[in-house]
Amino acid sequence: MTQGKEGAALDLKSARILIAGAASLVGSHTAEALLAAGIKEVVLLDNFAFGTPEAIAHLKDDPRVRIVKGDLMRLPDLLAATQGMDGVLHLAAYMTLGFAQSPWEAVDVNLRGAQNMLEACRANKVKKVVFASSNAVYGYGPGIKGALVEDGPFHSAGAPAAAILYGASKIMGEQLCRQYFQKHKLDYVVLRYSTVYGERQHYRAANSLYIMETYDRVRRGERPVLPGDGSDTKHFVNVADVAQANLAAFRSAATDVAVNVSGPEPITTGELVRMVLDYCGSKLQPEIKPDPPGTVRLTSGGAFHIPHDLAGKLIGWQPKIGMKEGIARLLAWREAGLAKQKEAK
């Protein structure tokens, strides 16, 4: 990945931006941030297979918002939706769970869907694509330790098939962008999100599930459960920071690059549980639960962190929300939701 190339830099106040896979955690937060930044128009594209109308319900009355139901597998949908767009944020993808449950659809969306979107952008002369990739391009298992820098390899030994499929599909998606840049001068920035968490996180989603579960146990007065010895590393990034990274990528002149988008610092599961307990003002002690033999977990090979220095250098972005603040925001949102549910009963 070459560094420091100059391409299209969008002025958001006069830009029209389409978000593919918009009815989602990252999509809805990015749409909000674009509206706050004075965007001219934002098109929210989703096929609503996983995305929900509720995730974007609070945005739909803004006159600058247009919701389009369309499918990545239908190129005509994308040709119509990208017409007149200056930028496209491509979020839509199947993740590990999707590759386990429906590998045909996952291959469709993550590869052909990405190709269709790039082709539509080329045809409609879209100025810049921001492609959502993942730290899954570094893989899993014993090889994951130390600093996961942008030119690092993909580790797969011992990982589940679906996780490897997901990571490799993101590696391919990045390279499809690169080919469109090389062949058609379509500017792009790849953002490799680390584990995204934040308000409006789907309650079933794996990302912040552990935070939520811990919180629920503590609220019920039960000791939180700490898998293994609590030293597992996680590197989260708050969804509000991710939204700002997306904006920064559109605004900057950077092109033909892939950068990490991670939170200020990594955290161990032990520290995470401690933060939830502190938030709740609880004196409970975590219960250490060794993994039963044969457990498959996507663990790392030791302490690791995902540097975001390159994103700072190339798109002028850095994360602002530390884990303590992020957890407080997430749990305050969760509490408000529970209070509302109670009221409704």
Comparison of 52 and 102: residue with beta carbon closer to a copy of itself: 102
Sheet containing strand 16-20, edge to edge, reads 65-69, 41-46, 16-20, 87-90, 128-134, 187-193, 257-261
Q: Which span sits near a copy of itself by CB under 8 A: 12-20, 40-48, 64-72, 105-113?
A: 105-113
Q: How far is the CB of 299 from a copy of itself (least distance, A)?
A: 16
Comparison of 161 and 332: residue with beta carbon closer to a copy of itself: 161
CA distance 16 to 82: 10
Residues sharing a CB contact under 8 Å with residue 289, sequence separation 6 or more, in sequence order: 225, 226, 227, 228
Residue 33 in contact with residue 317, Cβ under 8 Å? no
Q: Which span sits near a copy of itself by CB under 8 A: 9-17, 19-27, 148-156, 246-254?
A: 148-156
Under rule CB under 8 A, residue 153 binds a copy of itself: yes
Q: How far is the CB of 139 from a copy of itself (least distance, A)?
A: 7
> Mask: binding to a copy of itself, 266-295, rule CB under 8 A, as x and -?
------------------------------
Residue type, 58: H
DSSP 81-123: HTTT-SEEEE-----HHHHHH-HHHHHIIIIIIHHHHHHHHHH
Under rule CB under 8 A, residue 240 binds a copy of itself: no
- Identified binder of a copy of itself from the candidate list 70, 139, 286, 326, rule CB under 8 A: 139
CA distance 3 to 313: 10
Residues sharing a CB contact under 8 Å with residue 76, sequence separation 6 or more, in sequence order: none
Residue 203: CB atoms within 10 Å: 10
Under rule CB under 8 A, residue 198 binds a copy of itself: no
Comparison of 43 and 258: residue with beta carbon closer to a copy of itself: 258
CA distance 70 to 47: 5
- Identified binder of a copy of itself from the candidate list 152, 228, 230, 307, rule CB under 8 A: 152
Under rule CB under 8 A, residue 147 binds a copy of itself: no
Residues making contact with a copy of itself (CB under 8 A):
1, 100, 103-104, 107, 111-112, 115, 139, 143, 151-158, 161-162, 164-165, 168-169, 171-172, 175-176, 178-179, 182
